Amino acid sequence: MSKRTYNMYCAIAKALDVVGERWTLLIVHEVLSGPKRFKDFLDHLPGIGTNLLSKRLKELEQADIIRHRKLPPPASSEVYEITEHGQGLEEVVLGLARWGTPLLGLPKPDELFCPVWALYAMKDRFVPENAKGISKTYEFHIDDDILQARVENQQIFPTQGAAWKPDVVITMDSATLLDIGTYQIEPMDAHQQGRVQVQGDVADYDEFFQLLVDAESGIERINLK
């Protein structure tokens, strides 16, 4: 009944004792992107099963990586969120995202995609040099998800949820987001074809994607052809 451990006096092994099991770091990624309900995890982690998810959430809570709290009625559902200690794993998750990007290729039919996962892609692809003098908040409506990206001081802060006073609101479905993200279509072309709606200045929409790595190096980065 004792928990499995590597039994090594090694910081890496100690970390993996806690977050190295299957699904664990993916669950951490989810809560790093914003508070989530049990159902959200199930939707975003295909095949995990309720029992295993339940077990993982308990382990993560015991390790002080997440906490859960009940929302007041009428919501009456539990919400899981990251702790300060868990926030320290951001560097690890971001490192995995960076290293994993070239393995993405094009999405396969049986692969699940959730819009929130684009948050780390934004961080990964953001080019500070292209953002000089820009201070804007971009809001995205992708399928039923709302995301935002605050750009400021040549940094980007993408998070889940609606922005307070967005400079522009950009609406598209996830298929279009994937086509743009994998450089199958230019952002402005997608807009002209009616696949993207923009509330606000269309120039802001165009500008946002200029902040990310361009198609040429981007295609190499996600390893297309």
Partner DNA sequence: CGGAATCCTCTTCGATACTG
Partner DNA sequence: CAGTATCGAAGAGGATTCCG
Contacting residues toward a second copy, per CB under 8 A: 6-18, 20, 22, 25-26, 29, 45-47, 88-89, 91-101, 103-104, 107-108, 110-114, 117, 120-121, 124, 178
- Based on its alpha-carbon atoms, the radius of gyration of the chain, rounded to whole angstroms, reads 19
Residue pair 91/184 in contact by the 8 Å Cβ criterion: no
The site partner of 99 among DNA, a second copy, none (C-beta below 5 to 8 Å per kind) is a second copy
Q: Which of 8, 10, 78, 135 touches DNA (CB under 7 A)?
A: 78
Closest approach of a second copy to the CB of residue 75, in Å? 28
Tokens of 75: 């919501």
Residue that the structure tokens 């539990």 belong to: 78
Query: Binding segment for DNA among 48-56, 94-102, 130-138, 158-166 (CB under 7 A)?
Result: 48-56
Angle 174-181/118-125 helices, nearest 10 degrees? Answer: 20
Q: Which of 55, 175, 188, 217 touches DNA (CB under 7 A)?
A: 55
Residue 67 touching DNA (CB under 7 A): no
Rounded CA gap, 127 and 218, in Å?
Answer: 11
Which has the closest alpha carbon to 163: 149, 142, 178?
A: 149
Which has the closest alpha carbon to 139: 171, 117, 115?
A: 171
How far is the first Cα of the chain from the last one, in angstroms, to the nearest whole number? 48
Residue 62 touching DNA (CB under 7 A): no
Query: Binding segment for DNA among 21-29, 102-110, 141-149, 151-159 (CB under 7 A)?
Result: 21-29
Q: Which is nearer to a second copy, 115 or 187 (CB)?
A: 115
Angle 90-100/24-32 helices, nearest 10 degrees? Answer: 110
Q: Which of 19, 28, 32, 57 touches DNA (CB under 7 A)?
A: 57
Closest approach of DNA to the CB of residue 52, in Å? 5
Q: Which is nearer to a second copy, 45 or 196 (CB)?
A: 45
Query: Binding segment for DNA among 53-61, 118-126, 168-176, 186-194 (CB under 7 A)?
Result: 53-61
Strands 168-172, 136-142: pairing is parallel
Rounded CA gap, 146 and 36, in Å?
Answer: 14
Q: By the criterion CB under 7 A, which residues form the site for DNA?
A: 3-4, 21-23, 37-40, 47-52, 54-55, 57-58, 68, 77-78
